Amino acid sequence: MNKGWIALPLLLGLGTALWWWQLPQPLPVALLSVQRGAVESLVANTRAGTLKACRRSHLSFNQGGRVEQRLVNEGQRVAAGEVLLRLRQVELQARVEEAQARGRGLANQRQQRCLQAELEQRDHRRLASLQARQLVAEDRVDQSATRARLAALACTRAASALEEAEANLALQHALLDQTTLRAPFAGIVAEINGEVGEFVTPSPPGIPTPPAVDLIDDSCLYVEAPIDEVDAAQVQPGMPVRITLDAFRGQHFSGQVQRVAPFVRDLERQARTADVEVRFEPLPDQLTLLTGYSADVEVLLQQRPDALRIPTESLLEGERVLRYDPLAGVLREVSLRLGLANWRWTEVLEGLSEGDRILASLEQEGLADGVAVRPEGEGEP
């Protein structure tokens, strides 16, 4: 009898322990405290953008010829008007000298003919004066008038020949100048396709050839990035932009939208996009920026500097989150009214208060409304 009473408590204890062991245990979770901070409404590029120079010229000669002088090297900075390459000029220089000599000869001839015209004109006036007093015959006056008119025509013809020679001289100077390649603006020489002694030719129509000199003005740079056609409608010139470059990870640069393309690109197997041009403000002078760098842009549409916010990744479908109930030790599903949002933060207008603790991430399985949990530290936003 006594043994039965002793065994009964043991059986009850074992049953209780077994029941407790079979109860679902609270799941360890990382929670996040709801706090205030900045929330931005952003528009970002769909594919990598490209860093470009405001001015970049692929310079070539207008005529063919053999390279006689190469006065710059790749990577060298040049001033506007500085000579970069020069072709052989012997023949053209000879033509210039020939045109100059011909011009000097025609100038002397014009002077001679015009002096003769003045002499004939004075002689005609003198004979006309004498004929008025009946001192010379009328036919002599007529002959002097004819000689004066012919001399005047010869003077005019000589002047026209001189003008033609001067125009030819200007043409020869222009052809000579075309053998010299000059920098149209200050910049840096990116590439040279032409060595001393090589023969260069201009590009035939419709057949592109490498430029003789690729010149870049790196004092003015901008980013061209494609924006989805849906988002592009919200972007306007003058909006602030945050720029990131793959070459300088972790750094952000300020910019401003300068232009939105007036058309949408329809590329095969890609979303329709509109190109947006973004200027640096200011251009970072402590870094060496190379044209062609890949870049990303974030256009700031709106900003709340002190909003109640939660990580966007913590949201369930239907604008809901799982909030921790410390009294019951379980998660409670809460519906929210949201404001501004981006890929990182979402503004909360109603449904949560500052200091509430919510589930930091939805990656853990088995978590839902009413599930018992055990907080294990604060999650990273």
Separation of alpha carbons 241 and 199, rounded Å: 47
| pLDDT attached to residue 26 | 82
Separation of alpha carbons 238 and 321, rounded Å: 36
Separation of alpha carbons 5 and 224, rounded Å: 87
Residue 18 φ/ψ, nearest 5 degrees: -65, -40
- Indicate the domain borders of the chain: 25-39+305-378, 44-54+217-304, 61-87+189-200, 90-177
| pLDDT attached to residue 88 | 92
Q: Answer whether 25-39+305-378 and 44-54+217-304 agree in fold.
A: no
Sign, Cα dihedral of 238, 242, 247, 248? positive
CB 271 within 8 A of CB 291: no
Question: Which class is domain 25-39+305-378?
Answer: mainly beta
Separation of alpha carbons 218 and 291, rounded Å: 8
With b for 16 or more beta-carbon neighbours within 10 A and e for fewer, the 13-41 pattern comes to eeeeeeeeeeeeeeeebebbebeeeebbb
Helix 90-132 crosses helix 138-177 at what angle (to 10 degrees)? Answer: 160
Strand order in the sheet with 180-182: 180-182, 83-87, 65-70, 199-200
196 DSSP assignment: T
CATH number of the domain located at residue range(s) 44-54+217-304 in this protein:
2.40.30.170
| pLDDT attached to residue 284 | 86
Separation of alpha carbons 323 and 311, rounded Å: 13
Q: Which is it for strands 320-325 and 253-260: parallel, antiparallel or unpaired? A: unpaired
CB 274 within 8 A of CB 257: no
| pLDDT attached to residue 377 | 63
Whether this prediction's pTM lies above 0.75 is answered by no
| pLDDT attached to residue 136 | 76
| pLDDT attached to residue 4 | 53
| pLDDT attached to residue 6 | 57
| pLDDT attached to residue 343 | 84
pLDDT along the chain (381 residues), means of 10: 56 57 72 92 90 92 89 93 93 92 93 92 86 80 89 92 94 92 94 89 75 91 92 92 92 93 79 91 86 93 92 91 91 93 91 92 84 74 50
Mean pLDDT of the chain: 87
| pLDDT attached to residue 1 | 46
